Structure 1
Amino acid sequence: MNLDHVFVCGHPALDFAATLRARRTVRFEMFVTPERLNAWYLDCELVDTITPGDEHGLREAKTVREAVYRLVTDRRLGEAFDREALAVLNAAARKPPVTPQLTTTGRRNAATPGQALATVARQAVELLGGPDVPLMKECGNPECTRVYIDRSRGLRRQWCGMESCGNRIKAAAYRARRRTPPASAAR
């Protein structure tokens, strides 16, 4: 599987939760090292620079990620929030976030991994307590477990992204139709 970070969910907290892919099947972990976690913070443009992380910070980020995923799932399904996941998220959100600084060359977001995680946790709090909750959907690809914000006209989006899942599903359906003889030819 590709190790490139993909940002198709429409919200940073959802993209963060999607870093453990294919949760129902082969489960593919994107955050295998502190460096991969820091790369995600940089790639999603949460920070411009970040100090090196460690294994403790990596474990904490995975714990917060799983809490976010659980709370997103609870909210999406209209269920009460899991209390343990809620406590994990709120504890992370209470920590100091990334603080932008103005420099002679413009705005700069330098942070520690802990500050970056606190910022993602705050974004998750805003999402889960905000107006976009009714727009959250899970990808229509049965192997994908990404949740995304559906801002399409008519709210008819079916996949987290066309490149990542939509094209695969459409191509598989096309191949299946091509293999099946027309009903009139079967007589």
Structure 2
Amino acid sequence: MTSRHVFVCGDPALDFAATLRARRSSGTEVLTAPAQLESWYLASGLVDSISPCTEADLERARIVREAVYQLVTDLRHGRPYGETALDVVNEAARRPAAQPQLAPPGRLTTATPQEALSTVARRAVELLGGPDARLLKECGNPECTRVYVDRSRGARRHWCGMESCGNRFKAAAYRARKRQAPALTVR
């Protein structure tokens, strides 16, 4: 299965929360099937192999994803964490996580879907409870609802990623400037 997962948020927990895109409009679901969830776990680099995911694993992952997004949103808006979201993420983080092993080719992390989800939840706990929490920003694209870690110099980044949102808006701004510029007349 070919996937087009995007990892531009600066942390796997944020990229996981971004698997429901355009939350304010179309709400495009990336994790449409258990195979897509497996594909995301592998593409994220959190695990090297994963046992097959079920519909129940997919449903649980979506619940944790929404809880992570809610906690990130609460933090960004200076609100106390929602109790339900906090319980969901903490419960998932308490479960056994994927454990890397040393193998002849190097590090190898084999996981069950539950272990992979626990790893994501733990990343969310580390992010929201760590120094990067103050660097969280939402993408400047009004249609995009990705939250990213802005580690840019001077925290001047406006887009989740140039390849996904930034290029599109910079090109649109350029075209708008060209339309507004007075035409040069040749004499």
Q: TM-score range by the shorter chain?
A: over 0.9
The question of whether the paired residues in 2 share the 8 Å contact of 1:97 and 1:116 is answered with yes
1:57 aligned partner: 57
Q: Which moved more, 1:170-179 or 1:47-56?
A: 170-179
AA matched with 1:95: R
Moved more, 95-104 or 112-121: 95-104
| Unaligned residue ranges in structure 1 (runs of 5+) | 183-187
Letter in 2 for 1:41: Y
In structure 1, the residue matched to 2:28 is 28
Query: Aligned residue for 1:13?
Result: 13
Give the Å deviation of 1:179.
2.6
Q: Which moved more, 1:37-46 or 1:94-103?
A: 94-103
Partners in 2 of 1:23 and 1:77 — Cα distance? 17
Partner of 1:99: 99
The answer to whether the Cα contact below 8 Å between 1:50 and 1:113 also exists between their aligned partners in 2 is: yes
Q: Which amino acid aligns with 1:83?
A: E
* 1:36-51 paired onto structure 2 within 5 Å: 36-51=36-51
- C-alpha RMSD over aligned residues: 1.7
Q: CA deviation at 1:175?
A: 1.7
* Count of aligned residue pairs for this structure pair: 183
- How far is 1:171 from its partner? 1.0
Amino acid at match of 1:121: A
Contact 1:3 1:30 in 2 (8 A): no
Aligned equivalents of 2:160, 2:21: Cα separation in 1: 12
2: distance between equivalents of 1:181 and 1:46?
48
Identical aligned residues as a percent: 64
Identify if the C-alpha distance between structure 1 residues 179 and 140 changes in structure 2 by more than 3 Å, giving closer, same or farther.
same
Give the CA deviation at 1:172. 1.1
Q: TM-score, normalised by structure 2?
A: 0.93
User: Distance between the aligned counterparts of 1:9 and 1:181, measured in 2?
Assistant: 35
- Name the CA distance, whole Å, in 2 between partners of 1:175 and 1:85: 42
- Could you report, residue by residue, the CA deviation over 1:2-44 in whole angstroms, capped at 9, with x for unpaired residues? 9501111001100100111110111111100011001011001
Q: Does the 8 Å CA contact 1:17/1:68 hold for their aligned counterparts?
A: yes
For residues 74-110 of structure 1, the C-alpha deviation after alignment (integer angstroms, 9 at most, x for no partner) is 0111110011100110110111100112223332100
Contact 1:13 1:68 in 2 (8 A): yes
Q: Report what 2:160 is aligned to.
A: 160
Q: Give the aligned partner of residue 133 of structure 1.
A: 133
Runs of 4+ residues deviating >6 angstroms:
none
Q: Contact conserved, 2:99 with 2:109, CA < 8 A, in 1?
A: yes
